[in-house]
Every structure is written in structure tokens, then in C-alpha cells.
């Protein structure tokens, strides 16, 4: 039950290190010749209030301690860890299977060192598919190699299943989100100005304008998948070529241009919710489409296959949700300007958990920006669901 006066939040910096062997260094300053992965997180606790349950928030490539959702949970009386992966704020070389290992290290530390008895994964935004990926592999591990064929043994990693998963304002996966929003007008990956005008939704001369016809959307969606698969084909050919050379060159970086062109941002009648038209969670979608923070903008060959390839990434929320059995709470924000509206109900339907609940926060945008009352509603919902399962207070 939420207290009338919010708790004061006490924060502690967390450092976790574990050994790992890798063929080459992929993240500056976090993995190197010392043969260890270094992780940093922020443990947030309500001052004067103990708990045997820890809520873990983790995003594959971002840090979450400054965002309103985890802070609100702490102010309500919950213990929260905002856990950063080895790829914090730089997903260019990110391997989802290795992020699972990072999350596993945090969970093990929370139970064995800090003494928490219950662990709840809260997958907010891009952390949703990660939470599902982790839980599915912790319950029934199957993976021994990355999609690029590099060893990464999740079967023998000793991943500890968590007690529940919360999927909050989250998309199905990084690969599905990219397939939904990548700009299909690009004809030559090395020449982003070489575009098919009738697929460029930001071109005022394009005869296809909102409200879009169903025929145009079908063509557009097919072209998006085709572009993703063209990149994947090039990635695999390049990896094979590097292996055949048998030299010290093992990896290659590249740029993916124009990666935020979902027609839903321009046409509110497509998969409607109460989002703001011609806007997205990062601002003007036309600007974000070519800006430096666009999804998959900077990649390596291996990271493309693990994160962004619709045919190769294992962190697919639908598949992972179907495989896991832990209790699951799914929260949709009805004015979400980041997550495509169909993703949340699709995830809920696919989930294999016998104990699963879906709720909608009416009017809430992705970050609950300017919506403290809706953030409070989401916090109360989360606490109530956890309390009903004896997963919060001990």
C-alpha cells in the first residue's frame, strides 16, 4: 500500500565484477586485458524501510536510475536496483546473450551477497524483452552460442530464475521494433540519399500521405522487412569473408542510416491510441530518423545479428514469453509514443504463464512525462499485484 508521504530515497553505487574470456575487446573501459566484466548499478532503498524483495530494472544499453518509474517505486517503499549492462549508453557492439549474463551476475549478487529472498524483474521500455529473454533462459536454458556462432554458454551459466516479471510500457524486442520503424525508402546502404520517393514518408512530394491506404502500408511493411534482411545478408557474408581470411581482423563496424520512419507516428489512425500525432518519445520523428540516437545507427556485425536481425535475434519477446512460466504483469500505456500499440496485447496473448495479468494506464505516455498522477497509478498497480502474490513485503 502506498504511503501518504513518500519515502526518502537512499542510493548506493554498486560495482560487480566477474570473469569472462573473449576473443577481443568490445567495450572500452569495461572489458579488457584483465579478463573480467565490470558492471555498475545504483541500489535505491527507502530510508528506514527494510525488505526481502528486490525489484531489478535493467535496459540492454541505457541506465534507468534517473527515470521516474523506478524512483516512484522506491518512494512507495520498494527496494530497487537499476542495473547497467557492460554496454551502458553505447549499444554499437551489444550482444544480447552477454547482457543476459550481466543480469544474471546482478541477480546472483543480490541473493548471495545482499541476502534478498525474492527477485522481481521489471522490464520497462527496452528492458521488457530483456527481462523475458533472461527469465526464459533461466527457467529452461538452451543457448550455447550467439547468432554469429561465438561461444556464450547460458546452459551452464547458473542463471537464477526470478520470482515474477513485469512488462511495463515495453516493446516486443529490439529486432521487432526496428522492423516496425526502419525507413524502407533507402535503396543503397552506402548512399542514404538514394531513396525510393514513394516510400519516403517524410517527402512532401510523396503521393502517399496520411491517412495511408492499406495497400500502401502493406507495401511499406514488406519493404521494411526486405531492407532489414538485405543488411543481414551483407552482415553474414562479411563475417564469412573475415573468417576465411583467417587474420587478426575479426569484426567490423558500420552505420545504418534512417531508422525511425514508422508511419504510425504520422498517421494516428494506424493502430490508434491516444498518442500525439507527428511526434515520438525522442521528439520530431523526421529529425530522429537521421539523428545520432536512432535505433541501430552504429553497429557491429555481431551486434546486428544479436540485436536487430528479425530472423536471428533470440531476444524476441513473443518467443521468450511463450517459454517462461513465472507470474507476469503486463502494463500498457494508452498514449505511449514509443511502443507500437499492438505490441503489448500481442505479448500478453503469447505469454505461457498461467498467472498473467494485463492492465492499461489510460492516457499515459511512455515516460509519464507531466503525468504524476498516472505514474502514481502505475506504481499502485504494480504494488497491488506484487502484494497479492506475497512478492513485496516480508
- Give dist(CA 328, CA 121) in Å, integer: 10
List, in sequence order, every residue forming a beta bridge with 168; answer none if it has no partner.
124, 331
Buried b (16+ CB within 10 A) or exposed e, 223-261: bbeebbeebbeebbeebeeeeeeeeeeebeebebbbbbb
The mean per-residue pLDDT over the stretch 333-346 comes to 95
The mean per-residue pLDDT over the stretch 320-346 comes to 96
pLDDT at 207 over 60: yes
Residue 349, Cβ neighbours under 10 Å: how many? Answer: 13
Per-residue pLDDT of 107-117, as tens digits, reads 999 999 999 99
DSSP state of 358: E
- Give dist(CA 223, CA 207) in Å, integer: 17
Domain limits, the chain: 9-173+313-388, 177-308
Task: Give the per-residue pLDDT at 211.
Answer: 96
Q: No. of H helices and E strands in the chain?
A: 10, 10
C-alpha cell at 385: 499485484
Per-residue pLDDT of 263-317, as tens digits, reads 999 999 999 999 989 999 889 999 999 999 899 999 999 999 999 999 999 999 9
Task: Give the per-residue pLDDT at 4.
Answer: 58
Nearest alpha-carbon partner for 82 in 145, 27, 9, 156: 9
- Give dist(CA 173, CA 294) in Å, integer: 15
Element (H, E) at 376: helix 372-388
Domain 9-173+313-388: assigned CATH number: 3.40.50.1820
Per-residue pLDDT of 50-68, as tens digits, reads 999 999 999 999 999 999 9
pLDDT at 33 over 60: no
Contact 300/253 with Cβ under 8 angstroms?
Answer: yes
Return the percentage of the chain with pLDDT > 70, whole number.
97
Amino acid at each position: 500500500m502506498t504511503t501518504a508521504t513518500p519515502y526518502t530515497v537512499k542510493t548506493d553505487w554498486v560495482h560487480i565484477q566477474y570473469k569472462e574470456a573473449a576473443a577481443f575487446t568490445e567495450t572500452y573501459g569495461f572489458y579488457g586485458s584483465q579478463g573480467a566484466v565490470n558492471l555498475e548499478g545504483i541500489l535505491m532503498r527507502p530510508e528506514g524501510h527494510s525488505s526481502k524483495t528486490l525489484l531489478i530494472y535493467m535496459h540492454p544499453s541505457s541506465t534507468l536510475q534517473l527515470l521516474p518509474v523506478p524512483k516512484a517505486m522506491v518512494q512507495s517503499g520498494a527496494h530497487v536496483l537499476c542495473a547497467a549492462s557492460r554496454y551502458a549508453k553505447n549499444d554499437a557492439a551489444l550482444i544480447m546473450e552477454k547482457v543476459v549474463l550481466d543480469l544474471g551476475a546482478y541477480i546472483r549478487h543480490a541473493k548471495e551477497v545482499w541476502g534478498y529472498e525474492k527477485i522481481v524483474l521489471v522490464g520497462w521500455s527496452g528492458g521488457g524483452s530483456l527481462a523475458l529473454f533472461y527469465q526464459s533462459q533461466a527457467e529452461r536454458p538452451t543457448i550455447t552460442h550467439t547468432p554469429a556462432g561465438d561461444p556464450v554458454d547460458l546452459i551452464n551459466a547458473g542463471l537464477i530464475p526470478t520470482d515474477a516479471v513485469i512488462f511495463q510500457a515495453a516493446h516486443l524486442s529490439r529486432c521487432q521494433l526496428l522492423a516496425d520503424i526502419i525507413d524502407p525508402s533507402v535503396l543503397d546502404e552506402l548512399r542514404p540519399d538514394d531513396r525510393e520517393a514513394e516510400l519516403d514518408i517524410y517527402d512532401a512530394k510523396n503521393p502517399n500521405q496520411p491517412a495511408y491506404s492499406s495497400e500502401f502500408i502493406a507495401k511499406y511493411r514488406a519493404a521494411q522487412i526486405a531492407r532489414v534482411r538485405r543488411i543481414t545478408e551483407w552482415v553474414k557474408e562479411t563475417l564469412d569473408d573475415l573468417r576465411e581470411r583467417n587474420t587478426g581482423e575479426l569484426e567490423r563496424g558500420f552505420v545504418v542510416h534512417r531508422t525511425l520512419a514508422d508511419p504510425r507516428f504520422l498517421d494516428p489512425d494506424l493502430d490508434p491510441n491516444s498518442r500525439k500525432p507527428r511526434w515520438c518519445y525522442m521528439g520530431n520523428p523526421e529529425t530522429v530518423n537521421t539523428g545520432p540516437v536512432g535505433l541501430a545507427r552504429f553497429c557491429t556485425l555481431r551486434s546486428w545479428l544479436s540485436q536487430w536481425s528479425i530472423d536471428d535475434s533470440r531476444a524476441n519477446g513473443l518467443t521468450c514469453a511463450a517459454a517462461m512460466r513465472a507470474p507476469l504483469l503486463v502494463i500498457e500505456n494508452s498514449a505511449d509514443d514509443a511502443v507500437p500499440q499492438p505490441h503489448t496485447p500481442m505479448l500478453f496473448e503469447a505469454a505461457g504463464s498461467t498467472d498473467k495479468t494485463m492492465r492499461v494506464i489510460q492516457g499515459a505516455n511512455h515516460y509519464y512525462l507531466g503525468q504524476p498522477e498516472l505514474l502514481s497509478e502505475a506504481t499502485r498497480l504494480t504494488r497491488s499485484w506484487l502484494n497479492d502474490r506475497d512478492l513485496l513485503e516480508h
